[in-house]
Structure 1
């Protein structure tokens, strides 16, 4: 069953008609094409927020069971030493959607540190579990503040299977959509693929050769389609989180994410995050270098243009200036 989404410029010109959903099609103002209710309705859905059930002004936590001591290496007399991370109770399901190596693990660390609640995942990365992300192994609903997914971007299959893409994006669930510069993301993803590690570095010479040359045009359309699928097929609120904004303005950006998630701010935790920003899985020693051909850069520019236009037409901030 299909539902069309028409993206119109101010002039009323139809730029794109993407499909998937249900319902009868009707005429849209300013267009000879047929489509669903206007873009304003979609914007109201996308720019909504999560409603959580609070107890005494806080999200309910499990008082027994597994916990993680966040900053156990701090002196015991300092204010951040006391904080722990636990599982929640009855939390709303929210996807944390990103292309691989877009800063997902660091974002999860920041969310766990500021909320005191584990984040989850549709995967089970044992290295993350051993590093304190205990929600990585927990699939029961309501226990974690967000649940990580890369959807179809990590599936070794054609992008032509729209049904699988639609199912993988879980459009009825709200989401935090994490977006990072594709040039940086693909470099980080290649490092992860080759080292099987979230923190190890890779010699620049490993970016030469047919392997990386194949990997780049394979990854670019998956970066783009993951973002566009999440935006255009969503039937629930979506918070667009630019990795570069989180990196440059961590605390203000986190406040905005918490407001979207319906999480009351714990100022003590937020103060401690401001002095413990890096986390344990942030890859250290990254160098700026350019392994891309001119043709590969053109492909990324075209993909970023489509993403940027869609973001702006749907009322979101544009992509940062990528350098």
Structure 2
């Protein structure tokens, strides 16, 4: 085509204006392929800025992260192994081990701090996950750690804070006055979670209008209600005599008291509603199984980091698991406190929650015994 145009110009001696016009046409034609390529990329949802969020898609359906372990792990290119001394199953009791390292004074106005946590186990190299920091205002999307009572929120926050290197926050402003916040362990509880300075914010609210404010989605922690309800009942009973150790006979006597049946009926219904509300209304969602988190710590911690879109540091992940190897004492019972009627109701509610989860295409709950 170029040769034909040049021949025509030579034969007919076209004015210089015509020559310039032809040159312009040739330039436009040369850009056609790159323009079509860019248009095709945009139509497929590929944008040069990187991660595409709902803000780029008007009236988009909520984003859902598929939770099949293998695809997620492959995407993260995980090349880490379990700690040399792997954690024991979460249900086993443990005596708190004190960190012999002297605490560093916490300065709440600073962005980074090393803190003394008496529940953290010291070991060579633990300093890798001992330092955490705040992010600048509004640097982090609002992500919820939606967790019902007695479902491991403390150790989940400790581990994930250590694994990501970013403070965790809370929706409850009163927690800023708690000992763990003042000591620096949960310093993120002292700042407004809406500022977006923490990696996520713990919440125990399940109203739809609250759930949808977390535009970054939610980590929904679900624990076997058979363990959770009994653990919460014991926790409340022990509040009357803090620090005391109770025998199995004493624990058994509590479950014979009149308030146990009414407590169960209230809490099992609340557990069901809490889970279903978050599964239904969260914009993005990752189901975090309490049991999987302790039985498969590396895989589950990595899944969470991938979902949070934070930097993956294999050494930090391993360090966080070794620093917080076990859940707190759970007062594992040697008897079944539930009647046949109670067990039947829990089975029904577990099935309802599981069906709701699978309807959204997410990983189902474990098979609980």
TM-score over 0.5 for the pair: yes
Q: Which of 335, 352, 355 is equivalent to 1:309?
A: 355
**Other structure's SS at 2:219 match:** strand
Q: State yes or no: 1:45 paired with 2:89.
A: no
Partner deviation per Cα, 1:110-149 (whole Å, 9 max, x = no partner): 1011011111111233143256122223224222111111
Partner deviation per Cα, 1:190-234 (whole Å, 9 max, x = no partner): 123223499976533222211111110101111111111111123
The whole-number CA distance in structure 1 between the counterparts of 2:328 and 2:244 is 10
Any conservation in 2 of the 1:199–1:284 contact (CA below 8 Å)? no
Q: How many residues align?
A: 254
Q: Which of 238, 246, 250 is equivalent to 2:293?
A: 246
**Other structure's SS at 1:241 match:** strand
Q: TM-score, normalised by structure 2?
A: 0.62
* Aligned counterpart, 1:84: 131
The whole-number CA distance in structure 1 between the counterparts of 2:353 and 2:244 is 30
* Aligned counterpart, 2:164: 115
Superposed CA RMSD: 2.8
Any conservation in 1 of the 2:142–2:214 contact (CA below 8 Å)? no
The whole-number CA distance in structure 2 between the counterparts of 1:242 and 1:222 is 18
**Other structure's SS at 1:319 match:** coil
* Aligned counterpart, 2:145: 96
* Aligned counterpart, 1:191: 234
* Aligned counterpart, 2:204: 150
Bigger fraction of residues in strand: 1
Bigger fraction of residues in helix: 2
* Aligned counterpart, 1:30: none
Decide whether aligned partners of structure 1 residues 189 and 128 sit closer, same or farther in structure 2, where only a CA change above 3 A counts.
farther
Decide whether aligned partners of structure 1 residues 269 and 172 sit closer, same or farther in structure 2, where only a CA change above 3 A counts.
closer
Any conservation in 2 of the 1:199–1:282 contact (CA below 8 Å)? no
Any conservation in 1 of the 2:112–2:131 contact (CA below 8 Å)? no
**Structure 2 spans left out of the alignment, 5+ residues:** 1-59, 68-108
The whole-number CA distance in structure 2 between the counterparts of 1:199 and 1:117 is 32
The whole-number CA distance in structure 2 between the counterparts of 1:228 and 1:222 is 10
The whole-number CA distance in structure 1 between the counterparts of 2:349 and 2:115 is 40
**Other structure's SS at 2:115 match:** strand
Q: Which of 110, 118, 122 is equivalent to 1:74?
A: 122
The whole-number CA distance in structure 2 between the counterparts of 1:46 and 1:305 is 21
**Structure 1 spans left out of the alignment, 5+ residues:** 1-40, 50-61, 153-164
Any conservation in 2 of the 1:201–1:286 contact (CA below 8 Å)? no
Q: Whose RCO is larger (CA < 8 A, sep 6+)?
A: 2
Any conservation in 2 of the 1:201–1:285 contact (CA below 8 Å)? no
Larger Rg: 2
The whole-number CA distance in structure 2 between the counterparts of 1:263 and 1:190 is 36
Any conservation in 1 of the 2:159–2:320 contact (CA below 8 Å)? yes
